[in-house]
Chains A and B, each alone.
Chain A
């Protein structure tokens, strides 16, 4: 029985009915991954340990959790004890962490089985997965096309049906944009909902972990487990998280959805616009109401993000110095030479670019003009959202201005071209708000994503709206043919 493209719900049923054992499921998953290795969505497989764990799971009479025995893939920036964690960077290509990230640990404690670590943009810096030291990941819908990034490997592994779900992280759109480009569902939670302990930091004040899956419901299943306060992360919110499945089926009649006035879709591909209009109509038939809202400072979000995120990254990545772990250059003359060579050899171009931008933005004489100013604008953007959410329950935008593009076609000459991929996603990171991307049809035979942005900690509302949409449409059921692989 094929397990490819199955959802968590479907696999759960198969396991519970003993149609398949956890061990068989794990073996099948590895086989699938092996057959589809041209996708290049995995950096490291966890074969022996995952099969070992599946055998233990099979010994239990009854699954005590919906995730028990379910194979998952983890983005390769979550530290996993004893399992190589590279951030898709040469500088960590030999790093085996002595501990496991809280988000992964929670999923594993719920019985899920980590089958491997997924490819990504190096240190999560990129929107196409083309900055990985381990090579490009193909979009399962079209060979030679990007899966999006930075969680490109996770998105491709789910879209190709190898695993029902995977973890990702989102600093400026890194879960939602690849989910959109690969035709799957991905949610970035409220900042602080999921612990960042063990997640290798890109930009601490923006990074947030979340799931990618084949449906909003499966995203809710994973997010339920991943959420919760962690004393090891002082920025994690000390709040009770409600069961997101409890409210996911509520009717959405009367739901007020905001359309952001300042996001002018007129410049986008007409097909992208058409998909958006179609989805609006579907929501209207389901009883939702659309209201135009204004986020006056939203146009500043990309420059604001590209001041703050590189600044934090320039500091966060200082620890990769060749002294205690990771790549160390050989034949160095002194300490300074060790730093220069190890880091020059260990980091790729995009990472170096962002470290340089960030170092510049924090330098004496520039701090006020860049970093500090950006923080002030960030506050304004956050205020814009706060006041807009007084009149709407959630907001709706396209996830990305376009669809997946061919390798090397964007950003090679001008990196800013790629930075604009995150136009619609970046502001929710700046404001710390939850946002989900769901598939809503195709543009030129490639998937397009619809983004729903929720109010602070209202994952329940966007998951509910996404689930009702999926109950009344079939876009999320669409599967790539995989003939090219």
Chain B
């Protein structure tokens, strides 16, 4: 029997504002517990929320980027439930009137570009964190995250498999980082999603019963969790059982999803309009300001890279696909003019190192200045490309500047004709047999002579100079 999968995704994007949605406490990540917390965040008696407009601007920027309708009058609602890390006993969110309505996101699939419709995106405050494993017999509450602005983006159920879901999340990541709406850091929880998954027989007009996998925080887990869940549901249906509508959690260690305890989601949230906040109105002028200061998106960057830097479409696309990489590239171009070589390095050698360590370039010790210097040294033939690679390894490991490494290790390329000729002469003298064989027509031995020269110069000889002089000398 043939089954098809239907997936809708709710993405929670932490907006990269300096302060919280309804208080002036900092949103900085990684501070000691309960330090980014003020009276409002801990829900003290008598406190009232006040509005951080920056969060609205970011939400609107996202809405404009996906071609959505923007509600310039924002109304908030309370979602009531008890949890220890929810200080007020309710979350301020938008129920009836989301700030962003509609819009689309294009994703790349095996069959080409597919357009996913966005249902809505609304602003809400994040909760704090409960820590259950650090104090014996107690749970601890960290309210640093409480009140951080979130944009919850809800897609239509138009995603057909786990790969598309990953593509959707990658497109989302690219968009929110490009828009400077979020830092997109998934391991820190800045971007996470809930996946609503159901299966049905192909051709069935009715949707199957769905389950919601909560709080998935990496591309890999999105794929694995959905694949597991789809298999589980199909197996249940094929065994003649029914799928229960429920909330599930993905356990990455066991690679499985399992139901959350029913208590955790059996809630009537008793939504009602938040009486402590008047409607927040974004003026036409503010809207115009947002439009006038719209950041450049990936596609525009790609075009600019081919036009202004003469990059190939392929290179331009890879560099522009990540805002972090693109920023690094553009920073580097301020100090080197060999854009093609720079792109090559970023995509090839550097990309490989970053992949191996699974980090972004801004998390490495590399700086745009140092990289530009390395490119310049190769470009001006101070060093060869090969030496460049070993210098890079050290730069990557220690963060040292290439000039310092070159100087301290004496790695300057030998381009002086006289000096190279001397070395070539000695190679020829010391290998009479090979010279004879070469002259007898064994052309491949040319490489042997180059290798010997490089060995004697520890790779520092300029390969082009070596080639030219060696050819001349062997003719004689």
Contacts and interface: CB of A to CB of B under 8 A. Distances in A.
Interface in A456-476: none
Interface residues of B, number: 31
A232 B47 CA distance: 8
Given A336-B263, A363-B270, A79 B46 contact: yes
B90 A199 contact: no
A95 interface: yes
A273 to B, nearest CB: 37
B80 A204 contact: no
B459 interface: no
Nearest to B141: A323
A213 to B, nearest CB: 23
B149 to A, nearest CB: 16
Contact of A362 (B50, B84, B270): B270
B46 A312 contact: no
A256 B80 CA distance: 46
Contact of A323 (B44, B47, B84, B271): B84
A231 B49 CA distance: 10
A407 B93 CA distance: 44
B46 A92 contact: no
A30 interface: no
Interface string B259-285: 000010000101110011110000000
B272 A311 contact: yes
Contact of B80 (A87, A203, A362): A362
A197 B268 CA distance: 29
Contacts of A205: 275
Nearest to A322: B84
A367 B46 CA distance: 26
A336 B271 CA distance: 21
Nearest to A312: B275
A324 B49 CA distance: 18
Which of B43, B88, B89, B268 has the largest count of A CB atoms less than 10 A from its CB? B89
A87 B45 CA distance: 10
Given A235-B278, A335-B84, A336-B263, A319 B45 contact: yes
Nearest to B130: A335
B139 interface: yes
Interface string A223-253: 0000000011111000000000000000000
Interface in B1-56: 39, 42-51
A97 interface: yes
B78 interface: yes
A87 B270 CA distance: 25
Nearest to A335: B84
A199 B272 contact: no
B48 A315 contact: no
Contact of B48 (A98, A197, A367): A197
A234 B51 contact: yes
A445 B88 CA distance: 46
A319 B46 contact: no
A203 B272 CA distance: 13
A485 interface: no
A233 B48 contact: yes
B46 A97 contact: yes
Nearest to B269: A364
A193 to B, nearest CB: 15
A216 B260 CA distance: 60
A92 B45 contact: yes
B46 A200 contact: yes
B20 to A, nearest CB: 14
A315 B270 contact: yes
B45 to A, nearest CB: 4
A336 B51 CA distance: 32
Contacts of B88: 318-319
Contacts of A231: 50
A359 interface: yes
Nearest to A324: B42
A385 B45 CA distance: 33
A196 interface: yes
A129 interface: no
Contacts of A367: 270-272
Contact of B46 (A101, A359, A364): A101
B40 to A, nearest CB: 9
Nearest to A375: B273
A148 interface: no
B84 A201 contact: no
Contacts of B83: 335
A54 B271 CA distance: 48
Contacts of A235: 48, 275-278
B82 A318 contact: yes
Given A98-B39, A315-B270, A339 B278 contact: no
B103 interface: no
Given A318-B90, A335-B139, A362-B270, A97 B45 contact: yes
A68 interface: no
B184 interface: no
A455 to B, nearest CB: 21
A234 B276 contact: yes
B87 interface: yes
Interface string B69-90: 0000000001010111001111
A315 B89 contact: yes
Nearest to A205: B275
A85 B263 CA distance: 34
B50 A199 contact: no
Given A196-B48, A235-B278, A335-B139, A319 B39 contact: no
Contacts of A170: none
Contacts of B277: 234-235
B80 A315 contact: yes
B270 A319 contact: no
Nearest to A338: B84
Interface string A195-225: 0111111011100000000000000000000
B265 to A, nearest CB: 14
A319 B78 CA distance: 13
A231 B270 CA distance: 28
Contacts of A85: 45
Interface string A72-86: 000001110000010
Given A232-B48, A234-B50, A319 B272 contact: no
Contacts of B45: 79, 85, 87, 92, 95, 97, 200-201, 319-320, 325
A201 B45 CA distance: 7
26 contacts: A77-B46, A98-B39, A98-B44, A101-B46, A197-B47, A197-B48, A200-B45, A234-B48, A234-B49, A234-B277, A234-B278, A235-B277, A235-B278, A311-B272, A312-B275, A315-B78, A315-B89, A318-B82, A318-B88, A319-B88, A335-B83, A359-B270, A362-B271, A367-B270, A367-B271, A371-B272
Interface of B: 39, 42-51, 78, 80, 82-84, 87-90, 139, 141, 263, 268, 270-272, 275-278
Given A235-B277, A315-B78, A319-B89, 20 more contacts: A79-B44, A79-B46, A99-B39, A198-B47, A203-B275, A233-B50, A235-B275, A311-B272, A312-B275, A315-B272, A318-B88, A320-B45, A323-B84, A325-B44, A335-B84, A335-B139, A359-B270, A362-B271, A363-B268, A364-B270
